Amino acid sequence: MTQDLPPKLNRRQAAAAGLTFGALALATAAGPAAAQGSAAPAGAAQQVPGGISYRLIGQWDVARLNRILSVDTPAFSGFPVTYTPARNAVRLYRISYPTMVPERGNKPVTLTGLLAIPDGGATSLPLVSYQHGTVYGKQEVPSFPENSPETQLMIAQFAGQGYALIGADYVGMGESTEPQGFMVKGSHQQATADLIPAARAVMRAIGLTDNRLFLAGWSQGGYVTMTLAERLEAIGMPVQAAATASAPIDLWLSLNGFLNFPRPFDAPWTTTLFILASFSFENYYGVPGLARSILKPEHYDLCLQAYQGQPFDPAKVPTNLRDLVTAPYFDTQFFAESAFGRQMAANHGYRWVIRTPVRNYYGERDEVITVGVGRLAQDFQRAMGNDKVEAISTGADSTHRGTYARAVPAWKTWFDSQIG
């Protein structure tokens, strides 16, 4: 996906496509896959206990990783950032693993995710679980890294410097056959939490272990990172530290802002949030007709096509919320009392006593995430005297992409300091 997304998008149209602008991947051809150690030949699936399988999907050399850091990522983000150069090549695996959908009675499903392993060196590695941002296309996700510029940056900056890196594709994405579950909290938590032991099983199969677990995510993935931290704390799985960039940890708050308190520079593609959330919540929380109540009838079919990943013309998706969303949802009381609003309020990512060290990076010119949302977890936790969360600005000029571009090297420096 070098210039286009399925469906075909140009650069202007791609700006309407979602929180992370999944188009414009700027992917380049992968270097030749090479088996090393006990790695399987490219394309050959290997089985490990627990219904888990994995296969090598490529190997990126140091030159490619450094090109991502120095050329591709600045072109994607629009922000020149100096990254620490990669030191080692990286092997890329796609993992298939069993999990379940809590919102559907714990329905068993199979999902895919990425495992990126640095070549050479230690057999015990720090492990980063990266949670990706919002995209329309099913394959603009970590286990299809050619299609995911945000994942490419994580591979180059972390796996290229000795970290193992994993990333779940989420329910409905990657090779999943389920509908997309955008901001469906339980499914996000389950998918990401279950990838961790699956990836550890694969690492053992190729002679590796992990010694520390870190969490990181951008945009929707920042929200997922926070909810994953909540789940892992609840089950007692140790997490060294968690970091986010532009995390919409309270979507109820954010959507109310877009509806009733818009800023002059709000992104025109915030309509994407309403499209994906309305169909996802209808499907996973069992609210028949929810999407039809939210989306104006003249746009319903187009929005359904977008949600389902069918071909559609993104230029026809309204960029003004009043053109897309039905009038009742602009009434704050109606929104709060609606099934949609109540579920949004329940799906928070910060209202528990956080024990994991967390850093939330935010941009002061972010066209999606307000400064208030960027600082929300810190302010909430400190209101009760808890200092585990720190909110950090990436600059007065940081946009949504710019926040991510600047946060990643800060994540790396912080995580490095935790290893000692």
Instruction: Output the CA–CA distances (angstroms, integers) from residue 233 to 237, 248, 354, 381, in the order listed.
Output: 6, 20, 8, 16
Q: What element of type H or E holds 331?
A: none
Instruction: Output the CA–CA distances (angstroms, integers) from residue 329 to 181, 212, 295, 296, 332, in the order listed.
Output: 21, 44, 10, 11, 7
Preceding omega of 7 cis (within 30 degrees of 0)? yes
Could you give the residue ranges of the DSSP H alpha helices within 289-399? 290-294, 297-308, 321-324, 332-337, 339-346, 371-374, 376-383
Q: What is the pLDDT of residue 42?
A: 60
Residue type, 175: E
CA pair distance 221, 228, nearest whole angstrom: 10
Q: What element of type H or E holds 74?
A: helix 73-77
Q: What is the pLDDT of residue 49?
A: 95
Within 10 angstroms of residue 51's Cβ, the number of other Cβ atoms is 12
- Domain spans in the chain, listed from the N-terminal domain onward: 11-30+59-250+354-419, 252-346
Q: What is the pLDDT of residues 341-385, one digit of tens each?
A: 999 999 999 999 999 999 999 999 999 999 999 999 999 999 999
Q: What is the pLDDT of residues 286-324, one digit of tens each?
A: 999 999 999 999 999 999 999 998 888 989 999 999 999
Tokens of 108: 């068993």
CA pair distance 202, 56, nearest whole angstrom: 11
Instruction: Output the CA–CA distances (angstroms, integers) from residue 383 to 131, 194, 352, 356, 386, in the order listed.
Output: 28, 32, 12, 17, 7
**Which CATH number applies to 11-30+59-250+354-419?**
3.40.50.1820
For the purposes of burial, counting CB atoms within 10 Å of the CB of 115, is it exposed (0-12), middle (13-18) or buried (19 or more)?
buried
Q: CA triplet 343, 171, 166: central angle to 5 degrees?
A: 115
Tokens of 294: 């939210």
Q: What is the pLDDT of residues 101-112, one digit of tens each?
A: 999 999 999 999
Strand partners, 197: none
* Segments of the chain with pLDDT less than 50: 1-41
CA pair distance 266, 286, nearest whole angstrom: 31
Q: Would residue 147 be called left, alpha or beta, if left means φ above 0 and alpha means ψ between -120 and 50 degrees?
A: alpha
CA pair distance 132, 343, nearest whole angstrom: 22
User: In sequence order, what DSSP letters do the residues of 154-182 get, joined into one string?
Assistant: HHHHTGGGT-EEEEE--TTSTT--SPP-T
Q: What is the pLDDT of residue 120?
A: 87
Q: What is the pLDDT of residue 98?
A: 98
